[in-house]
């Protein structure tokens, strides 16, 4: 199939919507609603593209079941290798958040395998970046690092600032998790600059959060919180619950270490509620842990026990899931699924 042959009058507008997908849910919802009025004039490729963007919007709105249903239908119907690969990586992400790790790695493997054959460079970068994140959470750092370096090579080859933003963030995040702190800090500072210059808002904010976690770990608690609190409103404006949860976890941790238990409680409850609504168990576990510590310090034993028990349950579940992810990954790589 020649993709360009199926482009119609609305293709470039759909590309524009996609490029702004991470800059706010309400903004994207309006643009999708506007362009949907012309759906009867879409080519097949444009209709598939529109369905992909709707699925991505479902995901960012934490409507994961709607996202999955739309993607599965799209994967079975589309004849575009690009749309199919992008749908598979988005499906992998939704399944991952829901804790369906075997299904996640099946979809991820299909997407990564398609990367060398894709027409759109943007999708190559997007798929590699998402795969890196899933590998990281499964603690498969060797594979995460390999793909992050591939992503950086692609970015440098194309001199593409957006890809450089994402590649530096992912490499920095891996280095942060594997204890290479000095390198991680430098990489995340680079990521922030590339992301700012290319208006990659979500990656700018996650880079700022990761960078300031490192600053806090090395004694700069006040400095860290000042930087983190500056992005509270823009992060809220984007409306992605998992990002709001992550930011508030970082702030709550800092306040806890500063012995400001009221502020720690406030931000931990925000993160807990957002993670719960976004069905993000990893951040729910982190929020529950902070709340257990906060209520212990405040001598509110009943609340402390409630959140400690929830943390313990989620932590145990997380360890099981890491083993499950590794098994699922191994089976997918061997082609047994």
CATH class of 227-337: mainly alpha
Same fold for the domain at 10-119 and the one at 227-337?
yes
Instruction: Select 10-119's CATH number: 1.10.3470, 2.60.40, 1.25.40, 3.20.20.
Output: 1.25.40
Task: Find the radius of gyration of the CA atoms of the chain.
Answer: 20
pTM: 0.72
- 1 has a pLDDT exceeding 70: no
On average, the pLDDT of the chain sits at: 89
User: What would the pLDDT profile of 256-308 be if each residue is shown by its tens digit?
Assistant: 999 999 999 999 999 999 999 988 888 999 999 999 999 999 999 999 999 99
How many residues comprise the chain? 337
The tokens of 38 are what?
A: 């012309």
Across the range 229-244, mean pLDDT stands at 92
- 74 has a pLDDT exceeding 80: yes
- 94 has a pLDDT exceeding 50: yes
Whether 69 contacts 54, CB under 8 Å: no
Q: Where are the domains of the chain?
A: 10-119, 137-218, 227-337
Confidence of residue 2 (pLDDT cuts 50, 70, 90): very low
Question: Roughly what angle, to the nearest 10 degrees, separates helices 181-197 and 201-217?
Answer: 150
User: What would the pLDDT profile of 27-46 be if each residue is shown by its tens digit?
Assistant: 888 888 989 899 889 999 99
User: What would the pLDDT profile of 172-230 be if each residue is shown by its tens digit?
Assistant: 988 988 889 999 999 999 999 999 887 788 889 999 999 999 999 999 999 999 999 99
């Amino acid at each position: 199939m020649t993709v360009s042959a199926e482009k119609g009058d609305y293709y470039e507008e759909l590309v524009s919507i996609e490029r702004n997908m991470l800059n706010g849910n309400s903004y994207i919802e309006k643009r999708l609603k506007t362009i949907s009025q012309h759906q009867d004039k879409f080519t097949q490729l444009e209709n598939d593209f529109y369905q992909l963007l709707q699925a991505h919007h479902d995901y960012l709105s934490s409507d994961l079941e709607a996202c999955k249903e739309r993607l599965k239908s799209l994967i079975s119907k589309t004849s575009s290798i690009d749309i199919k690969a992008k749908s598979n990586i988005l499906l992998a992400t939704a399944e991952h958040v829901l804790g369906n790790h075997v299904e996640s790695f099946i979809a991820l493997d299909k997407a990564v395998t398609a990367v060398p054959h894709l027409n759109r460079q943007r999708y190559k970068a997007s798929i590699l970046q998402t795969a890196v994140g899933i590998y990281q959470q499964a603690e498969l750092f060797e594979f995460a690092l390999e793909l992050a370096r591939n992503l950086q090579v692609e970015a440098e080859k194309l001199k593409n600032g957006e890809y450089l933003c994402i590649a530096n963030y992912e490499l920095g995040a891996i280095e942060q998790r594997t204890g290479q702190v000095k390198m991680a800090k430098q990489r995340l500072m680079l990521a922030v600059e590339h992301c700012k210059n290319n208006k990659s808002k979500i990656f700018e904010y996650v880079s700022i959060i990761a960078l300031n976690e490192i600053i806090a770990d090395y004694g700069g608690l006040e400095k860290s919180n000042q930087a983190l609190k500056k992005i509270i409103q823009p992060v809220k404006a984007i409306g992605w619950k998992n990002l709001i949860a992550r930011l508030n976890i970082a702030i709550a941790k800092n306040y806890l270490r500063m012995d400001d238990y009221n502020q720690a409680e406030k931000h931990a409850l925000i993160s807990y509620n957002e993670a719960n609504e976004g069905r993000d168990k990893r951040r729910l576990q982190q929020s529950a842990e902070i709340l257990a510590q906060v209520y212990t310090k405040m001598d509110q034993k009943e609340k402390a026990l409630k959140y400690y028990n929830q943390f313990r349950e989620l932590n145990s579940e997380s360890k099981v899931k890491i083993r499950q992810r590794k098994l699922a990954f191994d089976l997918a790589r061997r082609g047994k699924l």
